[in-house]
Amino acid sequence: MRNILFVILGMLYSISHYGQGPRPEQDEFGKWGLVSEDGISLTEHIYDKMQKAGPYFLVESWYYWGALDKEGQEIIPPKYSEIRISGPDMFIVKYLLTYGVLDQHGQVVIEPGLEAIDHIRSDGAILAKRDGQWSYFLHNQRLIDEPIFERYARVPRFSPCLSCSLKEADQKAQKDMLTYIYTHIKYPGDARENGIEGTVVVSFIVNKSGQIREPEVIYTLSDDCDEEALRVILSMPNWVPGEIDGKPVNCRFKLPIKYKLQ
């Protein structure tokens, strides 16, 4: 019996916990407020929903979203139909039918008016759709960089299934990917001897041709476990590339692999 179990935790990876520090609290009327680690109220319980997002808390009131900082200060009033964090502490917001960007102080970076926003890079460049065309924008100037999608594209798949429905194709691809990893990965000897268990998360680009490019570990476990995860991912055959409007596009993919001794 093998002493290794590798579990794919999901096509997208997230770690969500409140840990120490402020946390949401719901009162007897179903309203949410923010309380300190010691249970001291930092805000009134006036919000319909509240969720932690990085160092911030997204809040909903009367179907509109805003954001609080960790001190409970309302940095963005609830007036947007959608809100999410992306890039270097920036907020992507939807107002009426278009999208814009606010900074960590709630100041406008780009006024709502974009048709869609995929993500914001670490350098502040925004991948957005304007006038029907996807491009990166920085300081409202269109860049020539080729887009790499993280959100809007049809997700790349490990293997094809021409006769399957989309759901069946996704299920088959995930099963094939798990089988490939289980078959090819080897538990590093030092990690086994030292009882090291946990998760490595690798980010990589699946380009228009389905080739894997620029893999990097974004959640580390140990040097040898990280290196083995990278080795196996680089050994994979070409994927089915992601798509937008039926056309192949470059996509960033995040893959978690859990090492567990048995």
- How far apart (Å, rounded) are the C-alpha atoms in residues 214 and 206? 9
pLDDT digits (tens, 9 = 90+) for 151-189: 999 999 999 888 888 888 889 999 999 999 989 999 999
More confident residue, 207 or 165: 207
Cα distance from N-terminal residue to C-terminal residue, the chain: 9
Q: Residue 256: in which H helix or E strand, if any?
A: strand 247-261
- How far apart (Å, rounded) are the C-alpha atoms in residues 170 and 161? 9
Mode of pairing for the β-strands spanning 148-149 and 90-95: unpaired
Residue among 123, 127, 104 nearest 115 (CA) = 127
- How far apart (Å, rounded) are the C-alpha atoms in residues 201 and 148? 19
Can you read off the two tokens belonging to residue 224? 């040898």
- The CATH code of domain 153-261 reads 3.30.2420.10
pLDDT band at 19 (very low <50, low <70, confident <90, very high): low
Confirm if 29 and 45 have CB atoms less than 8 A apart. yes
For residue 229, give the 3-state DSSP assignment: helix
- How far apart (Å, rounded) are the C-alpha atoms in residues 123 and 125? 6
- How far apart (Å, rounded) are the C-alpha atoms in residues 128 and 112? 11
Question: DSSP state, 143?
Answer: P
Quick check: 5 pLDDT over 60?
no
C-alpha distances out from residue 40 to 17, 29, 31, 46, 66, Å: 19, 18, 16, 16, 22
What pLDDT is stored for residue 13 in this prediction?
A: 36
Confirm if 95 and 110 have CB atoms less than 8 A apart. no
Confirm if 37 and 24 have CB atoms less than 8 A apart. no
C-alpha distances out from residue 261 to 11, 13, 227, Å: 23, 21, 18
For residue 181, give the 3-state DSSP assignment: helix
Q: Where are the domains of the chain?
A: 23-148, 153-261
pTM of the predicted model, to two decimals?
0.82
At 125, phi and psi to the nearest 5? -70, 140
pLDDT digits (tens, 9 = 90+) for 98-137: 999 999 999 999 999 999 999 999 999 999 999 999 999 9
Confirm if 229 and 200 have CB atoms less than 8 A apart. yes
- How far apart (Å, rounded) are the C-alpha atoms in residues 42 and 65? 19
- How far apart (Å, rounded) are the C-alpha atoms in residues 262 and 260? 7
Quick check: 142 pLDDT over 50?
yes
